[in-house]
Amino acid sequence: MRSTTMRVAPLMAALIAASVWLGGCATMQVNSFVERGADVRQFKTYQWGAPDTWAIGDPRLDNNRFFDERVRARVEAELSRRGYERAFGKPDFVLHYHASVTQEISSVDLDRTVTPRPDEDRRPTVYDKGTLFVDIVEPGTERLLWRGWAEGSIDGVIDNQSVMEEQIDKAVARIIGQLPPRS
């Protein structure tokens, strides 16, 4: 029995290390941009602009009504929480969102300087990278005033509806969190 425990311990340690590493790869990067001279803090009302006409890059999301509805609902909820209102007349700004999925190659394991052990796998890995943009544009001119975006690995997300909804919720909350507070 003791020899079984001795063999399981390294396997458990490897599994724990792999789950920590994979969890680290799943981090979401969030950023924003404000056009020079634009004061988005003064805005109060918005309307949605026309939806994108280009493909997202993954057939499971292209023309996916549930994905579109979830993103729009979360953006509206986050904006409402921050005091913005949807306008049915002339809005202060127009909203757009864009999503894209691309395949990326991670070479993190290749960049280590130590010599790999014979049982280590140091091959590059391919993963699906998702990016969600939320744009605030000037009505009439369509000049970009503010853009927030989140990006990260979406491996295993699209095929699980509840996980996808959770990731959309987190991404949108963090994106809108980048918006300067209203004055």
Q: What is the pLDDT of residue 103?
A: 87
User: Domain containing 166: what range?
Assistant: 28-177
Burial class (CB in 10 A: 0-12, 13-18, 19+), 183: exposed
Is 39 inside a domain boundary? yes
Instruction: Say if residue 8's pLDDT is above 50.
Output: no
Question: E strands of 23-176, at which residues?
Answer: 29-34, 45-48, 85-86, 93-106, 125-137, 144-153
CATH of the domain at 123: 3.30.160.670
pLDDT, position 100:
95
**17 domain residue, yes or no:** no
pLDDT in tens, 122-167: 677 888 999 999 999 999 999 999 999 999 999 989 999 999 999 9
pTM for this prediction = 0.77
4: in domain: no
Rg (CA), the chain: 21
> Cα 178 from chain centroid?
13
In-domain check, residue 70? yes
The verdict on residue 8 lying in a domain is no
pLDDT tens, residue by residue, 107-119: 766 666 566 666 6
For the chain, what is the domain count? 1
- Asked if the structure places residue 13 within a domain, the reply is no
**Largest CA-CA distance found in the chain, in angstroms, rounded:** 75
